[in-house]
Chains A and B, each alone.
Chain A
Amino acid sequence: MEKIKANATKVDFQKIFPFLGLAAVLIFFGIFSGGRLFTAQNMKAILNDGLYIIVGASGYAFLFAMGILDFSIGANMAVSCAVACLAAKVNPWLALPAALLTGMLISGILGLVHVKAHVDAFITTLAGQFILNGLVLIVLDNSVQQAPLEMLKWFTLPLKLMILIGCLGAGYMMLEHGVYGKTGKLIGSCPEAARQTGINVGRYKLTAFVIMGALVGLLGFVSLIRTGTASSKTGSTLMMNVLNAALLGGLPMSGGPTTKFRGVIVGSLTMAFLTSGMTIMGYNVNTQQIVKGLIFLIAISISFDRKNMKVIK
């Protein structure tokens, strides 16, 4: 019971913690960049960075709700981008379907292994990451591939906003009001009880993987039309950014009913401002990686995890 009390205050902390994090990042970089963080130029950069994180985190929220961690999304994005690039060389219009299908196929296979072979999702996707890191080099023939230049024109503000609003709207409705999201949270809350309530746990998990795959494929396509190239480095920061966004947003690692979509939004914004802020301050990618790794550790250590909670009659 004492623990319940302790956790009750922890729950409240969990509610305000994401907003504190966002405020801290805004104030810190706002001051140290001398206000440069909020210039129109930088807001555009933040939108570009934020787009990846928000789209990724919107899909990740459903996996998170069921208590699944996916470590393969960055590598999956690289492969999807590479396949899309090859397809674009045949015909630019093939790029999007190729990216989507590749992403869904890869995530779908990993999901199947997890569900049917009962391999832990963490292990499955970690192995997937290694395999895909090799696969992308083969698809790219060990070099950087160039997409047709005309495709760079596709990367417009209306498209970005459309993707952003579409993901946020659909994600919010599905997670907070949808049968799918609510069922997913039940699964995260207690898989066995969900199963005994007639829920096909495996099918729900697999669907979450496929949705994640589609979004990762979409990001592969976005990356292609933004940079015009596909390389093995594509998407290398995605996994850490999205995982951090989810944790900074206060989403519990063990899933369940406290998975909230507002956490996805706040966490994604925090990570987007953090990334852009560090870039403005002149930190290179390597330094940024160290900082993000540290944030990951800190976020995990203070995040709310039901598995630590003893249920007492």
Chain B
Amino acid sequence: MEQEKLLLKVEDMYKSFGITKALKGVSLSLRRGQILGLIGENGSGKSTLTSIVAAIQKADAGKIYLEGELCEFQNSVEANEKGVCMILQEKGTFDALTVAKNIFVGKESMFCKGGVLNNRAMNEAAQKALNAVGADYIKAAAPLASLNFEDRKLVEVARAMYLNPKILIIDETTTALSRNGRDILYQIMKRMKGEGRSVIFISHDIDELMEVCDTLTILRDGVYIDTLEKEQFDAALVRRLMVGREVSEDYYRSDTQSCKNEEVVLRMEHVTAKELKDVSFELHRGEILGFGGLADCGMHILGSVAYGNMEPDLGKVTAGDGTPIRSPKEAMNRRIAYISKNRDQESLMVASSIRDNICSASYAKLAKGPFIWEKAQNEFVDKWAGVLEVKMQGPGQYVMELSGGNKQKVALAKWLGFGADIFILDCPTRGIDIGVKSNIYALMQELRSQNKSIILISEELPEVIGMSDRTIILKDGRISGEFVREQNLTETMLIDYMV
């Protein structure tokens, strides 16, 4: 009986990357019609485990049984055919192709007659696949490049669902999705469950996991820790199992004081740029100003414009003393720092060393004449990497080898060392585990107490509410509400202004 219900069984999985042991004998089982949540800090092996199941990577040792049969998939195409599909954390689509061609990539021959591709038939089939997942507003014939990040993810979902998988693996996709996108995904999960098919769902968001999953499996440092059933779910317990020690429940600010300083340090006036329409605001000294909204509400562009990184079509950005900010250089002259949502592409040189990255904003300060000596750089790195407790092998280690949390710490160390007074942080905790998250929140409070100002842009409302002195909600590029910090400000109150 038990045997019959079992859909997938993973036994004693081992995997190493060089000296790093990503998986150390992990076992896992998945029943029919089960939604299994997989949770653990960065580097705990969640993604490695699931990508081995989907045959994207090969294990060093270990067995996988699908419906009781030992299987050794050679590649992900074979896994797809056997009913195991994975939606990746990273972008897995082709910008230059249409939505339909992305959905049927590698399967074009289905629509070929005598070597000629029947585009119309393909588009129709693609539209059906999109409608089936509830993303009917995405047009199959549209070029993928015209879609935003969220809709691209949904295209990937449609592609996976078209294969009618027995097991769907979703790797941290929801961090890129707004409420609407998440709901679509939850609907799909529920439907699969109803049809006796199963889902493995990876997320950093404990509340989300507890809401949608039947079972939670916790990994830590490549080791299986525990599996909890629905009735055992408890956020504090999960957190403790993940981290291996007690983590305080409220890592956001505990005070309800809002900033009383009226001195303006940054001012945006009637800015229109891309999605952003006629937005004005003032940032005060010693204030954390939060921006929330849906993924495409324009808040990410707002951060970029405020840093002078993107020129607005209309309006202007000025520092407190009225000097205009039109380029990153001018922003840095006013001691403004910016960490983009696309940290690895825009805020860090991941192919360079930790030393180069942390020093990069401070060359003027570190240089002796036209030269910079290694010693001055290493002292600088020791100091600021030390303040932020960056886990590294040495200052010469390449940033790309670091985990997401440590990369973010390097980016923060760069700007702390630079001596910024205003921090524009776009999704500073995106894809980062709890331990580092709470470090970043503590750092933000510390900066606030030093009378520095922070613009916090985030897609996670609890974070914005929890940290900000003032919260501004954007909707379709316009400011739809502004809220001063107070005790009873809740997520549900703000969501009405977002959608």
Interface residues of A in 1-45 (CB under 8 A from B): 1-2, 4-5, 8
- Asked whether any CB of chain B lies closer than 8 Å to the CB of A296, the reply is no
- Asked whether any CB of chain A lies closer than 8 Å to the CB of B22, the reply is yes
Task: Check if A313 sits within 8 Å of B349, measured CB to CB.
Answer: no
Q: Considering the chains assembled together, what is the distance between the CA atoms of A198 and B361 in angstroms?
A: 7
- Asked whether any CB of chain A lies closer than 8 Å to the CB of B351, the reply is yes
- How many residues on B have C-beta within 8 angstroms of the other chain's C-beta atoms? 44
- Asked whether any CB of chain A lies closer than 8 Å to the CB of B378, the reply is no
Q: Considering the chains assembled together, what is the distance between the CA atoms of A118 and B22 in angstroms?
A: 43
CB distance from B467 to the nearest CB of A (A): 23
Q: Considering the chains assembled together, what is the distance between the CA atoms of A257 and B398 in angstroms?
A: 10
- Asked whether any CB of chain B lies closer than 8 Å to the CB of A206, the reply is no
Interface string of B356-374 (1 = CB under 8 A from A): 1000110100010011111
CB distance from A311 to the nearest CB of B (A): 5
**Contact stretch, chosen from B215-223, B244-252, B260-268, B340-348:** B340-348
Q: Considering the chains assembled together, what is the distance between the CA atoms of A211 and B278 in angstroms?
A: 45
Task: Check if A2 sits within 8 Å of B328, measured CB to CB.
Answer: no
Tell me the interface secondary structure of chain A in the complex.
helix
CB distance from A190 to the nearest CB of B (A): 4
Residue of A at shortest CB range from B404? A313
Q: Which 7 A-B pairs have the closest CB atoms?
A: A1-B17, A189-B349, A198-B332, A190-B349, A189-B352, A198-B329, A257-B352
User: Interface residues, chain A, CB within 8 Å of chain B?
Assistant: 1-2, 4-5, 8, 173-174, 177-180, 182-183, 185-186, 189-190, 192-200, 256-257, 306, 309, 311-313
Task: Check if A193 sits within 8 Å of B347, measured CB to CB.
Answer: yes
- Asked whether any CB of chain A lies closer than 8 Å to the CB of B26, the reply is no
Task: Check if B328 sits within 8 Å of A196, measured CB to CB.
Answer: yes
Asked whether A193 and B348 contact (CB < 8 A) given A5-B17, A182-B363, A182-B372, the answer is yes
Interface residues of B in 313-333 (CB under 8 A from A): 327-329, 331-332
Q: Considering the chains assembled together, what is the distance between the CA atoms of A180 and B307 in angstroms?
A: 25
User: Interface residues, chain B, CB within 8 Å of chain A?
Assistant: 17-18, 20, 22, 42, 47, 57, 89-90, 307, 309, 327-329, 331-332, 338, 340, 344-353, 356, 360-361, 363, 367, 370-374, 400-401, 403-404, 414, 431
Residue of B at shortest CB range from A9? B18
Task: Check if B309 sits within 8 Å of A179, measured CB to CB.
Answer: no
Q: Considering the chains assembled together, what is the distance between the CA atoms of A180 and B363 in angstroms?
A: 10
Q: Considering the chains assembled together, what is the distance between the CA atoms of A194 and B349 in angstroms?
A: 8
Task: Check if B328 sits within 8 Å of A195, measured CB to CB.
Answer: yes
Task: Check if A1 sits within 8 Å of B345, measured CB to CB.
Answer: no
Asked whether A173 and B371 contact (CB < 8 A) given A2-B17, A196-B347, the answer is yes
Chain B residues closer than 8 Å to A313, beta-carbon distance = 42, 47, 89-90, 403-404, 431
Residue of A at shortest CB range from B19? A5
Task: Check if A5 sits within 8 Å of B340, measured CB to CB.
Answer: no
Task: Check if A177 sits within 8 Å of B371, measured CB to CB.
Answer: yes
Max count, chain A CB within 10 A of own CB: residue among B17, B309, B349: B349
Asked whether A190 and B328 contact (CB < 8 A) given A1-B20, A183-B363, the answer is no
Chain B residues closer than 8 Å to A183, beta-carbon distance = 363
Residue of B at shortest CB range from A173? B371
